[in-house]
Amino acid sequence: MGTNSTAGVAVAPSSAPPEVQKQSREAERAEWRLIVLVAATVAIWIGFHVWTGVFISPRNLSNLAVQATITALMAAGLTWLLVAREIDLSVGSLLALCGVLSMQLMQKYGLDAITTILLVIVVGIAIGLLQGSLRVKLGIPSFIITLAGFSWLRGLAYVVSGAETLSGAGDTFYEIGNGEFPSWVSLTAILALSALYLFTWLRTYTGFFGPQKRTLRPVSVAVLGLTLLAACMSIWVFAWNQGIPYPLALLLIIVFCMEFSAKNTRFGRYVYAIGGNPVSAKRAGIKVNTMILALFGLMGALSALAAIVQTSRLDAGPPGVGLFVNMSAISAAIIGGTSLFGGEGRVVGAVLGALLMASITNGLSLAGVDTFYQMIITGALLIVAVTADHAAQQKAK
């Protein structure tokens, strides 16, 4: 059966069996890959700041975080699908449909924001389950099922909206994508989470506050340093200048839940087991079809949440929105270390990949570079990421 080699790093002692040591080395390499990704993102930030003079500023970095949230939400769901050897090409069309529905429900039927959000999420889950059911019941590859969804869901968005864009949903709905927590709340949250992480790290690697659980390695120190640096940057951006945006807080909660599930729950372990070897997973008693159905339902829910954030930010529900978000979300997942061959990937890596891509788009926009060049660069990044993934798989074999 396949193993979850990148769900977390637990360095094995030299006395451990060879297979355990191999898994530990693979996990450590995955952590270094994420560190390199962070370093590349920081280098891009510095380069764009030198170019534009305004990139590294609290306001722009806050806007950048919100811009990356929409892609990151869908990339998170796609990560688990790709890990389980599935894919969803319809997420952009579902984003458009859910956005259109949200505006229709509020504008034409007078529903309040909370009821609308709940109904839109239910619709997203239902469509995800529908596509998952076609996948497991008919045995048709998810590539084909969701490629059809890419078409019919987009068409349905135009039918429901009458090819018109409604706007003006009200203050409550508008605040979801554009509001932020007060600065003092943001500062308290950042300091509390940083202290909790530091406490956990010390207990895990040094034996403070309890028995030492893992061997201290350079990668662990590097992750600690980057985390504390990110905390300091967050205080500068989100506490001293403005608060944490609501969409970013939503993303962080979802990423935490998915990362925790991947490391500590049976569901998360089953996702990676299916991706490692579906036949062995089925023989071990894992209900593979049920798991695939659940993953498509989760993907639908995350697409609906992304649509709510997008529609709230625009204060409008255009049926043509999200046309290229499929490629962006898949690219973010792959750039973040998710393998196209299944069994390997982390949600936090997909989020970092989304941040890298959003940084490039944001920086080029600030520099006045045409949108067409941004598309070329995004495509080139995807080719580089897929090539690196293929080379890594060949080396592993």
**Token digits of residue 226:** 């980057």
Instruction: Work out whether the CA dihedral 164, 170, 171, 177 comes out positive or negative.
Output: negative
- The pTM score is 0.89
Question: pLDDT for 185-214, tens place per residue?
Answer: 999 999 999 999 999 888 888 877 777 777
Q: Tell which CATH classification among 3.30.2400, 1.10.3470, 2.60.40, 3.30.310 matches the domain 18-179+245-396.
A: 1.10.3470
d(CA 214, CA 220): 10
d(CA 83, CA 259): 13
Q: Tell me the CA distances in angstroms from 388 to 23, 135, 336, 392, one per residue in order.
A: 20, 29, 11, 6
Count of beta carbons in the 10 Å neighbourhood of residue 171: 9
Question: pLDDT for 88-111, tens place per residue?
Answer: 999 999 999 999 999 999 998 989
What 3-state class would DSSP assign to 38? helix
Q: Where in the chain are the domains?
A: 18-179+245-396, 181-244
Identify the band that residue 145 occupies on the pLDDT scale cut at 50, 70 and 90: very high
Residues 6 or more apart in contact with residue 197 via CB below 8 angstroms: 227
d(CA 310, CA 176): 10
- Quick check: 10 pLDDT over 60? no
Q: Which residues are bridge partners to 167 per DSSP?
A: 316
Count of beta carbons in the 10 Å neighbourhood of residue 244: 23
**Token digits of residue 171:** 């203050």
d(CA 12, CA 5): 13
Residue 71 confidence (pLDDT): 95
Task: Count how many residues are written for the chain.
Answer: 397
**Token digits of residue 42:** 């920081």
At 245, give phi and psi (nearest 5°). Answer: -65, 145
Question: pLDDT for 240-270, tens place per residue?
Answer: 878 999 999 999 999 999 999 998 999 999 9
Identify the band that residue 14 occupies on the pLDDT scale cut at 50, 70 and 90: very low
What is the 8-class DSSP label of residue 321?
A: T
What 3-state class would DSSP assign to 140? coil
Mean pLDDT confidence for 214-233: 89
What does 363-384 look like in DSSP terms, one character per residue? HHHHTT--HHHHHHHHHHHHHH
At 268, give phi and psi (nearest 5°). Answer: -60, -40
Residue found under tokens 């204060």: 315
